[in-house]
Chains A and B, each alone.
Chain A
Amino acid sequence: MDTESTHSGYSYHSSRSGRSNRHGDRSRERHKASSSKDSSRSERSVVINPPDTPSQDSPVHNGEPLPGEPSPGAEQGDDTQDDNWGETTTAVTGTSELSISQEEVVGLGKEIQDRTQGFRRYLPLAVGSCVGLLVVATPLVFLLLPAVMWPDRLQACGSACEGLFLSISFKLLILLVAIWALFLRPGRASLPRMCVYRAFLTTLTLLLTMSYWLFYGVRILDAQDEDYHGIVQFAVSLVDSQLFVHYLAVVLLELRHLQPCYSVCVIRSTDGETRHYNIGQLSIQRAALSILEFYYRDFPLHNPALLSAAKHRAAKHLAGLKVYNVDAFKNKLRAYLLDTPGSTAGAQPGNGNQSRAMVTAAAKRKDSAHNELYYEEADYERRVRKRRARLVVAVEEAFTHVRRMKKEDERATPSDIMDVREAALAIFPSMARSLQKYLRTTRRQHCHSMESIQKHLAFCLVNNMSPKAFLEAYLAPGPTLQYGPERWMADQWTLVSEASVTSGIKEGTEFLLKCLDFSLAITVKGIPYIRLTEEYIDPKSHKFILLLQSETSV
């Protein structure tokens, strides 16, 4: 099994599952139990187990215990080997009738999550509309109750009072529109924790309303106040306070984020794409949300096909080297031959020594990997350029075959007149082959389907674009959002942060946005305090003289 690569976790996992190794299975189940929470995120997730580090009493070579070593599955008390161990020990395999497979467990978890997902998505909307209704209805109730409960004793409403009716109605209308604009929007994301400011504002509004109700209940309802003018003024003051709370909401939720305070650096873990953005004072989860929106706009599509080359190089580096533990092996051999257990306490150098030995051996080996890389990259460049040249020529030629119908062409035969879709289909085959070859060379053929290319071609023809404009979409990888959601490879994001996610970002904050295939590492730096001073220059002070004095030595 010398060709097996010990570095890629995927292949290691699959190779171990192929063998019905009791040792491996036991540990696999153990690992799975602890990480079932993580694996319930998506059905496509694979739990990557690090290869088991060889323990003292059961060193492994390439995943299999050395021959003759009593495997830990057997009873520990056995001194001699039990010859019929195959029949008496139970093996826990991945799929048995009574146990559920991992996919089913994941599916269960996801079901529960889906039900709560819908609930969580509409919760802010529901809360917002309830509070909004309460806020708008309260002043009206304040005004109506005296008229309903003791109409005969109520003083008639004079003209000043009726003017207040007008003002209250308009203010309520404005408040209604403002609440709708700010709070009753469909949420654009579901964040892990509740926004602190929203909770604060909701509490404040409810507190305000409750205190007004309390006052109203005690002073007006109980006492059955007859001064209707006073009651109307009371209701107007409530609406005014609500408007001011709304103003506070605008400032806290919207305006505070606009002024840039911090500069964040976002690095994608797989290919190192880096971008910098300026954001204002936000909590970590809101900042993560903004950064993800920027990610969809700015970062080129993640292409895993381009990254396999580096992995192969890394695997080749250490593939030829294997560490054999000679002293421990000697002891085991001695123990096996002499049948004395427990003498494995031989000199086994720690794992640190092993890795150091490997590193020095790898360094000493005459490594021509850099040479290969250089020539490989030069060759690749040349191939891409050749293909690109062929593609450009093919597309230009294809575009010359079709043009917009002009006035004089109306007399042409009807079979020649086509609509844009047919025109695109007509010129597509001449460039399809070179386009396909080019995309294959740059390993982007999975990003574009035939349908999408034809659609794009039709779009370019309709808008009178040049062949170069049509080609731009295929020559460089565009931003992630331009492709359909099935190509993003980034739908579910996890925020990993040491600080609490509702705390604000500060200078030096670092957090990670993890997705299935890659992660975005984010660091925050503050924008420096800028000291700007002024200097006044009189425009008349710009005067010049001609300097023609040369000195020559003879």
Chain B
Amino acid sequence: MSFVPGQPVTAVVQRIEIQKLRQGENLILGFSIGGGIDQDSGQNPFSEDKTDKGIYVTRITPGGPADVAGLKMGDKIMQVNGWDMTMVTHDQARKRLTKKKEDVVRLLVTRKSLEEAVKHSMNKYPRQ
């Protein structure tokens, strides 16, 4: 998932729709994010390319809305409700996810296993 500057980023993504859960006054999604363009990308345990400053899912509360929706730990979030998440600061990402007016977030996430699954299926069915 390395990107070449100037070229569009291509990735195989999965669409995940998470319903926010109301807990008292807050609407929570049930996962933690890490990363951002203002963070140290070398510390990211989930990225293959250590220069990747994208937003990654670092923790999922079991049984929470994200877990139920199928989000996995280590996923890189590419879009949230149409907003791009590949070149945002950590705080901007947090704000995009925790908008009080939105009850549901639609994420586009990518992970390594998705690419392999696609490659695998492409090999299975060679182009005719």
Chain A residues packing against B (C-beta within 8 Å): 546-554
Contacts and interface: CB of A to CB of B under 8 A. Distances in A.
A553 B40 contact: no
A interface SS class: loop
Given A547-B40, A548-B38, A554 B58 contact: no
B29 interface: yes
A549 B55 CA distance: 12
B59 A552 contact: no
B2 interface: no
A548 B43 CA distance: 9
B19 interface: no
B40 A549 contact: yes
Interface stretch (B3-11, B90-98, B113-121): B90-98
B81 interface: no
- Lowest 10 CB-CB distances: which A-B pairs, in order? A553-B32, A549-B43, A554-B97, A551-B34, A548-B40, A554-B29, A552-B94, A551-B32, A548-B39, A554-B98
A546 B40 contact: yes
Contact of A554 (B32, B38, B40): B32
Contact of B43 (A547, A552, A553, A554): A547
B33 interface: yes
Nearest to A553: B32
Interface size, B (range): 10 to 19
A338 B92 CA distance: 112
B34 A554 contact: no
Contacts of A552: 32-34, 90, 94
13 contacts: A546-B40, A547-B43, A548-B38, A548-B39, A550-B34, A551-B32, A551-B33, A551-B34, A552-B33, A552-B34, A553-B33, A554-B28, A554-B33
Contacts of B44: 549
Given A550-B90, A553-B31, A554-B98, 11 more contacts: A546-B40, A548-B38, A548-B40, A549-B34, A549-B40, A551-B33, A552-B33, A553-B28, A553-B33, A554-B29, A554-B33
A551 B98 contact: no
Contacts of B94: 552, 554
Contacts of A547: 40, 43
Contacts of A554: 28-29, 31-33, 94, 97-98
Contacts of A551: 32-34, 58-59
A548 B89 CA distance: 12
